[in-house]
Amino acid sequence: MTSVSAKSGRSLSDLFVEAAKQALDDAGVDKVDSIYVGNMMSGFLQNQEHLGPLMATALGREGVPTYKVEGACASGGVAVNAGVKALLSGLEEIVLVGAVEKMSGYSTAEVTTGLMMAEDRLKVASTGVTFVGLNAMIAREYMHKYGVTHESIAQFPVLCHQNAMDNSKAQFRKKIAIQDVLQSPLVADPLRLLDCSGIGDGAAAVVLAPKDAAKKFTDSPVEVAASAVASDLLSLYRRQDITTFEASKRASDQAYKLAHVKPNDINVLEVHDAFSILGVMALEDLGFAEKGSGTRLLDEGECERDGRLPTNSFGGLKARGHPVGASGLYQIAELALQLKNEAGKCQVPRAEIGLAQSVGGIGGTVAVHILRGMS
Amino acid sequence: MTSVSAKSGRSLSDLFVEAAKQALDDAGVDKVDSIYVGNMMSGFLQNQEHLGPLMATALGREGVPTYKVEGACASGGVAVNAGVKALLSGLEEIVLVGAVEKMSGYSTAEVTTGLMMAEDRLKVASTGVTFVGLNAMIAREYMHKYGVTHESIAQFPVLCHQNAMDNSKAQFRKKIAIQDVLQSPLVADPLRLLDCSGIGDGAAAVVLAPKDAAKKFTDSPVEVAASAVASDLLSLYRRQDITTFEASKRASDQAYKLAHVKPNDINVLEVHDAFSILGVMALEDLGFAEKGSGTRLLDEGECERDGRLPTNSFGGLKARGHPVGASGLYQIAELALQLKNEAGKCQVPRAEIGLAQSVGGIGGTVAVHILRGMS
């Protein structure tokens, strides 16, 4: 993965190639049978599509089948899922999956419009509501329904900033306190600046291969024990309950079944905390806490690196950064490092089974991956 | 498939839902395990991404995994290929693949910029060259290198317009003559208006299922005998020879191998004639004619419906219309109708094995499908 930065000054292909080459070098493979590129906003922000051959050309690997896969903010996770299916099809042996997003260098209005492409343009975006505005409605409803304070929820970004201190590739390496969150500028009531992930550029990549082939390349492969994607009604206004993401439940239920594990078996977790409230909801929707009680895990320190359920150990979307279409792949790359015991200062003890949850839009798409160490 | 029109006045989801419902009704299936949406330009033109859950919601099928797949003008073909892999993965049984593009209602400048998203924005589009300009360079070089006249090449759009006369869903149902092509307004020398496909809205869809399952739903399933995608150096300026698309050769070579057939076995063909020259080049790159002699097939009437190699029997991109990201799926839906003997007035005799070639950008991506009748 590349560093996440709002001042990268780099092109989509520069970013992608850095991550892809790292992944190929780390995997020790030279052959690539296909390339999947996860990305959300290149058409709108860069006026650039056809990212498949753009990246294959930049990597010197033109010829192979290439695909751009888009699932809004979950594009990275969805691209990995598509790559896993390609492997399972038996048609390909070595699949490179990368994801990239470049968000810097544009006006706030442009990025705001870009993010709202994840919602229904005609029925929702046209009203003028913003992406953070929709998430603020979720936060408000959640706090009201379950009697949870902003102070409790603010523990999530505090945790992420703490973890990012040890991640040299993180965008925000600055320790913050709960009071910093509560006193930061209001963005969309009740969400404040430090409840929200920032704007950044970045790319991440992984190499997928069948288990037997993977063992030829590396002594410490990581098993993709489950890869699941689910959708939901696209728009928030159509949902019965906006304090839960049905797609998170669907995708994680399927993933637990595929991997033959239970939430209790997970000992390293990456969740999609684009906004603080989403991190808390994820803990519940993925089965780690009862509805309305996700913050208790934070109260009890369970999500810290030495806790029972180390969460967002590299800083999560909030502090490692959230180059939207790429974040789902950062999560998976970070889990892989944890399970290979190569996470450096971010390493958590006993990392055996990891779960990554990537959310597209306001929960219209959720990708869940369960990875298992094999070394 | 929907009618192709530059005055549809319809939204992306309206178009998609019409095609998808037709496909589901025709297949007689109710269950859908996943939805793949091919599209190129929605981010730029409609400021709308996240087409997966948008379409799933519009269809009343939210919950299932959804994917937007982009491969420029070949997005439809590439989406079918991704759907085929999903089936082969064994994770899904009934896959809905649809593709949609809405190009009308925008200025020429907007659509021109949108189409150039298929080329390298930083290195090529930034020079000001347009998509038709690049294709004009190909035409000029081809005519020079092989001593082929514009008159010969113009037979291609004439054939397509003839065939579209019988297709009620075609955008241009008007017979034209070679002189009409040669005297139509110059767009980019040597390409004239009637060498070029138009701007249109449309959607097409197919339902994929394993062979045994398909037989339960319909008496006349169509076998996907091969699905292949290949890429090439993205930009024309980097290629050794711009009169051939290496990706067409690569994808068709692989498809012939997968299907265990040879070019001679193909008796119904759909090629990507976004510009007249591309139709001629396709006949060569796919193995039906020697390089430089593709027009001879037209001279000899072999591409007509009663010829040896009926080509673009519903009117092709030129006359049926070319809603870019959807065209690859129109081709496959049309081939399926031919092989089911349900093509009505467009029906060709002896349709047993069909091939569809869909080109992304200036040949940066090519998808080739070979279909076989099973009834």
| A84 in reach of chain B (CB within 8 A) | yes
Give the nearest partner residue to B62 out of A116, A121, A233, using CB atoms: A233
pTM, 2 dp? 0.98
Given B47, B65, B84, which is nearest A44 (Cβ)? B47
For residue A219, the model assigns a pLDDT of: 87
Minimal C-alpha gap between A344 and chain B (Å): 35
The beta-carbon neighbor of A85 closest among B85, B121, B231 is: B85
The answer to whether residue A73 is catalytic is yes
Question: Among residues A318, A313, A360, which one has the least CA distance to residue A333?
Answer: A313
> What pLDDT digit, counting tens, does each position of A35-79 carry?
999 999 999 999 999 999 999 999 999 999 999 999 999 999 999
SS3 A34: strand
- Which three-class secondary structure state does DSSP give residue A39? coil
**Positions in chain B whose pLDDT score sits under 50:** none
Question: How many contacts does A have with B, using Cβ atoms within 8 A?
Answer: 208
Chain A residues in contact with B119 by the CB 8 A cut-off are 50
The count of other CB atoms within 10 Å of the CB of residue A226 is 22
Residue type, A253: D
Quick one: pLDDT at residue B219? Answer: 87
> Among residues 210-229 of chain A, which lie with CB inside 8 Å of chain B?
228-229
Q: B283: closest CA among B159, B291, B275, A89? A: B291
Give the DSSP letter of residue A275: B
- Which chain B residue's Cα is nearest to A251? B65
E strand or H helix that includes residue A276: helix A276-285
**Are A106 and A91 a contacting pair, CB within 8 Å?**
no
Per-residue confidence (pLDDT) for residue A81, from 0 to 100: 98
Among chain B residues, CA nearest to A365? B53
State the catalytic residue, choosing from B150, B161, B322, B369: B322
- B-chain CB neighbours of A90 within 8 Å are 88
Query: Which residue, B269, B252, B270, is CA-closest to B261?
Result: B252
Contact: A89, B88; criterion CB under 8 Å? yes
Query: H/E/C letters for each residue in chain B?
Result: CCCCECCCCCCHHHHHHHHHHHHHHHHCCCCCCEEEEECCCHHHHHCCCCHHHHHHHHCCCECECEEEEEECECHHHHHHHHHHHHHHCCCCCCEEEEEEECCCCCCHHHHHHHHHCCCCCCCCHHHCCCHHHHHHHHHHHHHHHHCCCHHHHCHHHHHHHHHHCCCCCCCCCCCCCHHHHHHCCEEECCEEHHHECCCCEEEEEEEECCHHHHHHHCCCCEEEEEEEEEECCCCHHHCCCCCCCHHHHHHHHHHHHHHCCCHHHCCEEECCCCEHHHHHHHHHHCCCCCCCCHHHHHHCCCCCCCCCCCECCCCHHHHHCCCHHHHHHHHHHHHHHHHCCCCHHHCCCCCCEEEEEEEECCCCEEEEEEEEECC
Rounded CA gap, A308 and A70, in Å?
Answer: 34
Residue B92: closest C-alpha in chain A:
A85
Phi, psi of A103 (to 5 degrees): -115, -15
The total of other beta-carbon atoms located within 10 Å of residue A185's CB is: 7
CA nearest neighbour of A18 among A50, A53, A58? A58
Q: DSSP states of A319-356 as a string? A: HT---HHHHHHHHHHHHHHHHTT--GGGPPTT--EEEE
Question: Which residue type sits at B363?
Answer: G
In angstroms, rounded to a whole number, what is the distance separating the alpha carbons of residues A136 and A139? 5
Residue A322 among the catalytic residues: yes
ipTM (interface pTM): 0.98
Q: Residues 21..40 of B with a Cβ closer than 8 Å to A: which?
A: 35, 40
Give 3-state DSSP helix, strand, coil % of chain A, rounded to 5: 45, 20, 40
Question: Do A102 and A6 form a contact (C-beta atoms < 8 A)?
Answer: no
Helix or strand run (H / E) with residue A82? helix A75-88
Along the 375 residues of chain A, how does pLDDT read in single tens digits?
A: 999 999 999 999 999 999 999 999 999 999 999 999 999 999 999 999 999 999 999 999 999 999 999 999 999 999 999 999 999 999 999 999 999 999 999 999 999 999 999 999 999 999 999 999 999 999 999 999 999 999 999 999 999 999 999 999 999 999 999 999 999 999 999 999 999 999 999 999 999 999 989 989 988 999 999 999 999 999 999 999 999 999 999 999 999 999 999 999 999 999 999 999 999 999 999 999 999 999 999 999 999 999 999 999 999 999 999 999 999 999 999 999 999 999 999 999 999 999 999 999 999 999 999 999 987
**Active-site annotation holder among A150, A322, A346, A369:** A322
Selecting among B73, B160, B303, B346, the annotated active-site residue is B73
Chain B contact for A106 (CB, 8 A cutoff): no
Question: Quick count: other Cβ atoms within 10 Å of Cβ A215?
Answer: 13
> From B247, which residue of chain A is nearest by alpha-carbon distance?
A63
| Dist. CA B98–CA B213, nearest whole Å | 20
Rounded (10°) CA dihedral A323, A326, A328, A332: -120
Cβ distance of A44 and B43 shorter than 8 Å: yes
Nearest CA in chain A to B363: A53
Across the interface, do A360 and B82 touch by the CB < 8 Å criterion? no
The amino acid present at A233, given as its one-letter code, is L
Is B121 within 8 Å of chain A by CB?
yes
